[in-house]
Amino acid sequence: MKAVVCLIVVFLSAPPFVRADDQTISLPELIQGAQQFAQDNLDTNVLNALPQVNDEQVRQFLADIQTQFQGDYIVDLAALRQTAQTVLPLLAANEETQPYAAWLKAHMDYLEVADEIKISVPPPTIPSTNQIVPPVANPPPQKQREIWVKQVSTEPWPEGAKKYVPELKPVFAAQKVPPELVWLAEVESSFDRRAESPAGAAGLFQLMPDTAKRFGLSLWPHDQRFQAEPSATASAQYLKQLHDRFGDWRLALAAYNAGEGRVQKLLDRYQTKSYDDIAAHLPAETQMYVPRIEAVIKQREGANLEELSAPPG
């Protein structure tokens, strides 16, 4: 239970937090809100198990979680699933933390798929005494694409998609980007424009502050990342720039998630122009992010990512 509560605090705690209404919320205020919710909703035994934490501990927990998502092995994410299921309703019940609940909800599929992979992949051979147990290998890219097609095939449209897909497809088309890529927002935020990540990304398309400013968005006095059309415009412009650079939508999406510098270094190191050749060397989240978007576009639009083309004109 202690680990659960620690993770609750982590998701409340990337300092300094700024809500969509631009009111800065301090770390103590967020923790106090979580503790008040616990007092109102949890039983005495749970309350007695609540640990005392300070700012330094919270930041360390946050660093640990970011490390998990940026790690090498997908199955390592499986350990977060049960805790995340506990954390999610607590975040959703607190007004100040609902943006982080929106972010976590959009990322639950990663944890579910990681858990399924952990169950389905045979454990590594146990070495002889005093040898390190080898990690569980990641599924190859094609296998991951198959896994995500199965995962997405039973999922309904996110509620916000009914509003934002027809509204934002013309925005993507105006930037000479395939309009089907508007479904990026399902993977990034589940079409909830309130979503904020612990790392600082925000909005439908989870733009980081530097990326948002790079493509002309204002972060103050009103953060345009939380506005549907401006954020869609910036996202489409960034995707076009990435595709112009890499000439491939899988690579462009990998760069959108992991950073263009990292993708370029891997392409140079392995002397390739293929996503599949570098996939195993990308962060665990990115390894699932690209096939997840492929599967979403296939399910929602009946289109193949690699066959998408920009609108004429």
Q: What gap in Å lies between CA 291 and CA 158, rounded to an integer?
A: 18
Q: Which of 97, 123, 154 is the last residue of a domain?
A: 97
Same domain, 279 and 154: yes
- Same domain, yes or no: 71 and 172: no
Query: Are 150 and 259 in the same domain?
Result: yes
Residues 146 and 227 in one domain: yes
Q: Tokens standing for 294?
A: 């492929």
Residue 257: its pLDDT value, please? 97
298 DSSP β-pair partners: none
> In the predicted model, is pLDDT for residue 280 greater than 50?
yes
Catalytic, 294? Answer no
User: Tell me, what CATH number does 261's domain have?
Assistant: 1.10.530.10
H-run or E-run covering 270 = none
- In the predicted structure, residue 81 carries a pLDDT above the cut 90: no
- The tens digit of pLDDT for each residue in 293-308 reads 999 999 999 999 999 9
Q: Which of 180, 188, 196, 285 is catalytic?
A: 188
Find out whether the peptide bond into 179 is cis, omega within 30 degrees of 0. Answer: no
**Residues 192, 302 within the same domain:** yes
In-domain check, residue 256: yes
How many structural domains are present in the chain? Answer: 2
**177 lies in the same domain as 301:** yes
Domain range for residue 185? 141-307
pLDDT digits (tens, 9 = 90+) for 105-139: 999 999 999 999 988 776 666 666 666 666 778 99
Dihedrals phi, psi of 237, to nearest 5 degrees: -65, -40
Do both 196 and 300 map to the same domain?
yes
93 and 31 belong to one structural domain: yes
Mean pLDDT of 256-272: 97
Last residue of a domain, one of 70, 97, 124: 97
Q: Which of 109, 205, 104 is nearest to 153 (CA)?
A: 109
Query: Tens digit of pLDDT for each residue in 227-249?
Result: 999 999 999 999 999 999 999 99
Write the CA distances from 204 to 12, 99, 164, 227, integer angstroms.
Answer: 20, 11, 9, 8
Domain boundary, last residue among 97, 123, 149: 97
